[in-house]
Amino acid sequence: RSAATPLCSGHGIHSPQLPYAFYPQDAPEQRTPVCRCFPGYTGARCEVDMDDVSWAHKCVNDCSARGECKHNVCACANGSWGVDCS
């Protein structure tokens, strides 16, 4: 299916986790297609823009209060650097 499918709000791909050949026969739940969200989106249908909701951010040390979490990566303020802006 296309990334533009309404099943994933246009922000992901509706597919199983891996090709069927990789799953054991006793794991049918992994064969069920679900939305696989593009970076920066989350939710069952990729409907949540992670930059719009603070609970969805997962930046290291919350960017040490010296930067802004964007798509789960710290965008450090001037004078700060590193994975967590420390």
pLDDT digits (tens, 9 = 90+) for 35-62: 988 888 899 999 999 888 877 767 889 8
Highest mean pLDDT among 29-33, 61-65, 68-72: 61-65
Burial tier of 73 (Cβ tally within 10 Å: 0-12, 13-18, 19+): middle
pTM for the structure as a whole: 0.58
Average pLDDT rounded to a whole number, residues 59-78: 90
- Whether residue 20 is predicted with pLDDT greater than 50 in this model: the reply is yes
Query: What is the CB neighbour count within 10 angstroms for residue 67?
Result: 22
Question: Model confidence at 76, in pLDDT bands (50, 70, 90)?
Answer: very high
Report the alpha-carbon distance of residue 82 to residue 24 in Å, rounded.
41
